[in-house]
């Protein structure tokens, strides 16, 4: 990325000894962003968010942040790139700064799977088979799915989910609410709906781009026939939703240490070495409940 297209670094004032006060960076913020932080995401969903693909690096100078945070992002990066990405986090942190990494907790999932397996084998407890079915999806669905939401979304979208409390305790209320994907219409119908909604006059660049995409896909489907579905699967598999790797306390500690961090340790959703952490509600909801209960929280320090 050239210098002209790079986003400007956050504005900071010089401190008493020539050092700027610590700014905090939230990478892959999605819809959980804070005006007091520097927020960055591939898809900017709010004001002030820096839109950038982090696979091209972190677009800020060395040593300007007091903390770097990312949640449920690292598992979507290839194992080859994960280390390079954490080294980028190390680069933009100032000495003594904190890296907080949140990922799905593989150890917790596996322990829950073994418990659900034993309970299902005994067959003496209500909903044991349903709990086993769900934890099996947690283990593999997001790594193998070929459409948005996968089998996990289909499970939650059932007319009646008898073990909904179990599922909610596993992944949180927000994740449950998000597992209701909109129906995917045929391309010809989507094109008709698009024209009907906006008329034939394209009044914006976004509308023109959307129209071009629909026309292109309709043409590709006519040419490729049944192979068009394979193209769609390939597009989805590279869209960023798939889990490329999973981590537990040991593997994530080793990875952070390889990236140059020290004093790496696991903590809870409400515990952090980031100052005033409880006020930010990034890993908790406003009512104090945990945002993603299936998470592993690990922090490392950039050595001084």
Q: What is the pLDDT of residues 2-58, one digit of tens each?
A: 333 433 444 433 333 334 446 999 999 999 999 999 999 998 888 889 999 998 999
More confidently predicted of 274 and 197: 274
What does the pLDDT read at residue 193? 54
**What pLDDT, in 10s, does the model give residues 95-144?**
999 999 999 999 999 999 999 999 999 988 889 999 999 999 999 999 99
Helix orientation angle between 249-258 and 79-92, rounded to the nearest 10 degrees:
60
* CATH node for 3-104+248-301: 3.40.50.150
Is residue 61 classed as helix, strand or coil in its secondary structure? coil
What confidence score (pLDDT) does residue 8 get?
A: 43
| β-sheet bridge partners, residue 50 | 40
Q: 211 Cβ partners below 8 Å, 6+ apart?
A: 194, 202
pTM of the model: 0.80
By CB atoms closer than 10 A (0-12, 13-18, 19+), residue 88 is: buried
In the chain, what are the domain boundaries?
A: 3-104+248-301, 106-178, 187-237
């Amino acid at each position: 990325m050239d210098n002209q297209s790079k986003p400007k670094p956050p504005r900071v004032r010089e401190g008493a000894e020539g050092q700027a006060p610590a700014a905090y960076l939230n990478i892959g913020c999605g819809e959980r962003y804070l005006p007091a932080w520097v927020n960055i995401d591939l898809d900017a969903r709010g004001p002030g968010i820096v839109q950038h693909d982090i696979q091209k690096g972190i677009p800020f100078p060395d040593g300007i942040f007091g903390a770097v945070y990312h949640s449920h992002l690292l598992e979507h990066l290839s194992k080859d790139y994960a280390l390079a990405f954490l080294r980028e986090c190390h680069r933009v942190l100032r000495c003594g700064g904190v890296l907080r990494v949140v990922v799905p907790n593989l150890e917790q999932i596996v322990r829950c799977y073994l418990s659900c397996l034993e309970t299902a084998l005994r067959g003496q407890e209500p909903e044991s088979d349903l709990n086993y079915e769900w934890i099996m999806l947690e283990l593999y669905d997001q790594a193998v799915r070929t459409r948005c939401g996968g089998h996990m979304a289909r499970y939650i979208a059932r007319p009646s989910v008898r073990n909904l409390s179990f599922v909610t305790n596993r992944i949180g209320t927000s994740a449950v609410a998000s597992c209701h994907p909109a129906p995917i219409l045929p391309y010809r119908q989507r094109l008709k709906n698009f024209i009907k909604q906006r008329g034939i006059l394209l009044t914006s660049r976004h509308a023109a781009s959307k129209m071009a995409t629909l026309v292109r896909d309709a043409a590709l489907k006519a040419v490729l026939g049944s192979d068009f579905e394979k193209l769609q699967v390939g597009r989805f598999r590279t869209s960023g939703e798939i889990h490329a790797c999973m981590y537990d306390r040991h593997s994530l500690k080793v990875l952070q240490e390889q990236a140059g961090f020290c004093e790496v340790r696991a903590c809870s959703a409400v515990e952090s070495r980031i100052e005033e952490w409880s006020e930010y509600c990034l890993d908790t909801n406003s009512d104090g409940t945990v945002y993603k209960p299936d998470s592993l929280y690990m922090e490392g320090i950039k050595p001084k």
